[in-house]
Amino acid sequence: MRMVESGDVRLAVYEEGDPGRPAVLLLHGYPDTHRVWDEVAALLRDRFHVVRYDVRGAGASTAPADRGDYGFDRLIGDLDAVLDAVGRAKVHLVGHDWGSLQGWEALGRPGVRDRLASFTSLGGPGLRQAADFMRHGRPRDVAAQRARSWYIGAFRLPVLPELAWRSVLPGLVRRALRGDGIAPRPGHPAPTLVRDGINGLALYRRNPPDPGLDPRVPGLPVQIIEPTRDAYVTPALLESVGRWAPRLWHRRIAAGHWAHRSRPGTVAGMIAEFVEHVEGGPASGELRRARAGGAFGGRLVVVTGAGSGIGRATARAFAAHGAEVVCADIDIDAAKRVADGIARDLRITAHGVQVDVANADDMEDFSRNIISEYGVPDIVVNNAGIAVAGAFLDHTLDDWRRTIDVNLWGVVHGCRLFGAAMAERGQGGHIVNVASLAAFAPSQVLPAYSTSKAAVKMLSDCLRAELAGHGIGVSAICPGFVSTGIASHATYTKDSLREDAVRGLARRGYPPERVAAHILRAVHRNQALVPVNAEGKIGYALSRISPRAMRGLARLSKFAGKDRPYGRR
């Protein structure tokens, strides 16, 4: 540690790692000190020259004589002084909370901007971009952000915030840390927390948003790391930054406000990957996707049974909204046709891959290869399935085994293998399991199919509860009758059932593209259960209101089905 003078304050500056390596400067927020970055710095110091400092009035740095000297001019002057002391031509700046706000402000000032190689924001945009969002954003999005930003007005009040810091606020900070799954440790919160909190109130009082300032960020590579459970920043505010930063990478992490404490390995990995790419290294698949646009831009989506029907429609729908798609099917030719069509029609990267979802070894290899070659998927759609139609007494043991192996075990394999990788990565994600109206509507002629789909629905409910803490959503999609090729490819215990089934689904006129739209909406809204189309919604409602009536309808039914054959759903 050394002290660096900036005007009438002395800044405590800390350096680690080889000075010959690229420099990464970590800026802390309010009411933290440089110690909030301890875990991340420990992971970066073997690869970079890591620099941290306590901002004026915090930690070991001194406070200005004039309590009003916390404006951006002074803060950027402090950053300049530290850069002079470090003596590097360029540094990669990383900021959290108020450190992030200082970084965004530095991007708007040509003098200091020229000294930055890149900027990574862990949190929200700068005050310039936020002011533009508050003026021009959708009213409901603005209202939601204002609700989350309530503390800004409170900190600008006279006297009361100082009293709060001397009484209840230190305990609330520790409670907020525990709410993020973080245990207080030596250095964070700092022993100087009360003094730092009182001094830092001037940050809010001396830096009001100015809508007259230019929000544009010309040229510099910018990475946003979005903690998806941050209580203070809405996704809509972060999405608005894209219009101002032309070289923007947007990444997500399943964590709260102090993501660098709760998931230091993930945060350090994202910082290192970005810095090394800016320094000339190749971009990983995840980093490359982070620049894509669209509602699902930057996401890697795996769809099983993607060779036709709902699977094909879902793969194309995700690609149309910016996602890179892995189209998996037991029929490799069908999978490649879908992938090639996406690449040709939508100009989106897509991959056709063969997999037998019922084969545990095949799924192990499939998941391992996907993760190795393309990265951990953000969204997995377990869609592959088969239908066997006929009375229970006409089903063979092999009919039951094949149906359970594909419809249930295929989903179990997909959830287990990819869900574990998502949880370990720590960036959240979503799993979609395509079930059916048959999950809650009994039928005389689909006993094995209905049993497997009911199990998929229950599996989804169980998994949703378990993975919620990892930021991973799970949705069960339950379509009614959909006009696909399942009826013509299904197995029938009696040939007399085939003609009615094929004709009935063809007449239904409900295209798989509409099911795909429901799937995308379920992921976007993190919906647990989605009955699709009229019979799906009516069947679900009736199963809740009167299960007896559903059993009565089952006695009258001659055929009830919806999905498609093995691997082609």
Task: Please name the helix (run of DSSP H) or strand (run of DSSP E) that holds residue 5, with its range, or none.
Answer: strand 2-6
**How many residues make up the chain in this entry?**
569
Q: How far is CA 157 from CA 131, 161, 163, 232, 244, in A?
A: 20, 7, 11, 19, 32
Contact between 363 and 414 under an 8 Å Cβ cutoff? The reply is yes
Residues in contact with 339: Cβ distance below 8 Å, sequence separation at least 6, in sequence order? 315, 325, 327, 350, 351, 352
Q: How far is CA 50 from CA 16, 17, 40, 44, 476, in A?
A: 5, 6, 10, 7, 45
CA–CA separation, 45 and 48 (whole Å): 5
Rg (CA), the chain: 28
Which residue in this structure is represented by tokens 């350090």?
A: 268
Q: How far is C-alpha 152 from the chain's CA centre?
A: 27
Nearest to 520 by CA among 254, 309, 323: 323
Peptide bond connecting 189 to the previous residue in cis, omega within 30 degrees of 0: yes
The single residue of 70, 449, 510, 566 carrying the catalytic annotation is 449
Pair of tokens at residue 43: 């992971």
Q: Establish whether 449 is a catalytic residue.
A: yes
Nearest to 127 by CA among 76, 80, 180: 76
DSSP 185: B
If DSSP codes are grouped into helix, strand and coil, which group holds residue 385?
coil
| φ/ψ (deg, to 5) at 168 | -95, -25
CA–CA separation, 146 and 152 (whole Å): 9
Which residue in this structure is represented by tokens 């930054």?
A: 241
Nearest to 457 by CA among 366, 368, 372, 529: 529
Contact between 271 and 259 under an 8 Å Cβ cutoff? The reply is no
CA–CA separation, 457 and 460 (whole Å): 5
Lay out the sheet containing 116-122: strands in order across. Answer: 2-6, 9-16, 49-53, 23-27, 91-96, 116-122, 222-227, 248-253
Contact between 217 and 138 under an 8 Å Cβ cutoff? The reply is no
Task: Please name the helix (run of DSSP H) or strand (run of DSSP E) that holds residue 226, with its range, or none.
Answer: strand 222-227
Contact between 407 and 434 under an 8 Å Cβ cutoff? The reply is no
CA–CA separation, 454 and 446 (whole Å): 12
CA–CA separation, 315 and 379 (whole Å): 11
Catalytic positions are: 449
